[in-house]
Structure formats: C-alpha cells, structure tokens
Amino acid sequence: MGRPVSVEDYRRIAARRLPRAVFDYVEGGAGDERGVARNRAAFERILLSPHALAEVSRRDLSVPFFDRRLPLPLVIGPTGLSGSVRPGADLMLARAAARAGVPFVLSTASTSSIEEVARASDGEKWFQLYVLNRELADSLTRRALDAGFRTLVLTVDVAVSGRRERDVRNGFGIPFRMTPRFFAGCAVRPAWSLAQVRHGLPQFGNLVSAEAKDASSQALLMLRQMDASFSWDDLAALRERWPHRLLVKGIMRAEDAARCFACGADGVVISNHGGRQVDDTPAPVDVLASVRAPEGKAVLVDGGFRRGADVVKALARGANAVLLGRAPLYGLAARGEAGVDEVIRILEAEMDNTLALIGCPRAENLSGEFLA
C-alpha cells in the first residue's frame, strides 16, 4: 500500500498492525453494530447544495468557540484504553491536538494519568468524567482542576455498559487476559507486542497513580459499571462545584439538551458513544438538527466522522464543533504521533476542499442553505 491519503487508509493499516482483539476493541460497537453502521450511513444521506460563482479564493476553517476561535472545528475526543493501541497514546494525542490548536479530551479510562498529560502538553485540555462512585468522581474532578484542565465533560450514556460482543468473544480486558486466542493475535503482530512489553502493559492511569490506587474502581471502569443513580439533581450539584466550563456528553434528545442548558451546562455533545452503548439509536448527526443552543452555549457532535465533508455537513446542521474518536486512533496505530498529525491534516484539507466546492468561504457561515 502506498502513502495513506484518507482516514480509511489509516484504518486499513491499523487493522494490519494491531492484534485482532485490540482492533476489535477500537472498531466494535454494541450488539449487531447497526448503530456503528448507521452513524456512517447518515453522512451518505446528507447531500450538499453547492452555491455557484461564490468568491472562494481564500477559505477560513476557523470557527468561534466560547471565548476563542478554533483554527479547525475539531476536538480530539475521549477514548478509553488508548494505550492498548500504542504505548503513551494519550500523551501523543494531546501533543498532536496542541499542534493543531484544538482541544484534547482525556478520558477517565485513559492509560496515562491526568497529571502526566498535563505535563506532556501545553495545549487546551479537557477532562471527561465517568461517575463510577461519588467519592472517586470528586477526587478526579479535583485532580483535573489542580492540573489545569478548564473544561469538564460529563458522560451520561453509560448507566451500564453496552454489550460489545467482539470484546466478549475476544475476552478483551485490562489487564490483558493471555488466553490462547489473545496470545495468537499478539504473535502475528510482533512490533505491537514488543512495544507493549518494552513500555509496560497498559493500565488505567488515573486509578493506578500515586493519587488513586483502587482495584475495585479499576474493575468497575473496565466493565463500565457506573453510578446508575446519578440524576439531574446530581448534574446541578456538579455544576455548582465545578468552577469552569461544563459539557454534558451522550445527549440524544432535544428535550434533554434543553434541560442540560437549564441546569447551567455550557454545552452538550450529541453522541451515541460511537454506537458502543445502544445499538438501535439514531445517528447523532441526524439528532443534531433538532437541538439548538442558547446564546453563549455550544452544541458539539460525534459519531462516525471519517471525512472533512462529514464535518462540513455537521456544521451546516448546526454543530459548533465535532469530536473525533476512532479516526485519530487509526492514525496512532498506523504511524504513531505523526499519524495523528496526518489524520488531522487530511481532514483539514478535505474540509477546505469541500468549502471551496460548495461556495462557502468561511466555515462559520455554514448553514442549512448549503444542504440539499
């Protein structure tokens, strides 16, 4: 295969370089994976309506975002256990995001700790919070605040874990379970295996650091067993405790988005967890059109973004920015930190090309007028 020129090219390289169980963890979804497929298919149904004879000799991909401008309408989203793809993955993702001038969201289930990521990158860093239990959530929130994270992203679509059959069949977990099937997959991926052995097998960085060593919480996090009693009142209480920007991720109804804003959230992320929780939900980009943010608030979206044109379509439907999940991991698996840079540049080039071809010189001017 020659030089990769698309996110799909990086996906194919990732499939060749990762053990089957690890690639399946990245790629897989809940149940029959109809939700994963639906997320992608939604972009095929959304068509663009080019405007003729527009002056597009110069294009501007930057967008207003709260109190700043993002040079690209992208955020590197939270991905748990990214160290299973490549050692040091969270640090690489954070540095790549900083170079691109976009935020990076560190997962509670990261394999590097809050403090390690804070030291590794001077870019804008957000922390994604799973509420495993109230005491641990408070501790993680304090640590993120002390480390300089100024945006908290509360994920609310994991009251229980989705049933991801690929992971069940593969016995995927942390620590790695050295079953004959897993060992056979590692044996045919020697470069991946040697890197993991050399750097140490991945662990939940936020739960094995000096600040937190809790075996029971590690088990709950691997199973995605969250505090299922967390409710609207608890969101309001978190809003009172967290002094900076608060986003709520995992919203799939306009009514829930409005209630988040009423509770004081600064933004919502329309998300079905990449199709990894409930198999039969709409694609987030289809829900997006029904959600409107009050003045000064933001609506973000994730789920299935593989092309710059996908990002353009989401902005035209009203998103302020897009979170990327699997796409940066494909680049990471294929070519390490440089691969993440390259994936971002590919999406940037595709967005720029799409804007020119539909007659829209500025990304912030995208609207329904550019959709068929």
305 by DSSP, 3-state: which?
coil
Tokens describing residue 62 = 């930057």
Q: How far apart are the C-alpha atoms of 124 and 118, rounded to whole Å?
A: 10
User: Which amino acid does the sequence have at 203?
Assistant: Q
149 by DSSP, 3-state: which?
coil
Tokens describing residue 168 = 């069940």
To the query of whether residue 244 is one of the catalytic residues in this protein, the response is no
Cα 322 vs. chain centroid, distance in angstroms?
9
Burial grade of 203 (CB within 10 A; 0-12, 13-18, 19 or more): middle
CB 241 within 8 A of CB 152: no
Tokens describing residue 331 = 């680049």
CA atoms within 13 A on the CB side of 308: 21
Q: What angle do CA 21, 40, 37 make, to 5 degrees?
A: 55
CB 156 within 8 A of CB 229: no
361 upstream amide cis, omega within 30 of 0: no
175 upstream amide cis, omega within 30 of 0: yes
Residue 247 bridge partners (DSSP): 153, 267
Catalytic center residues? 273
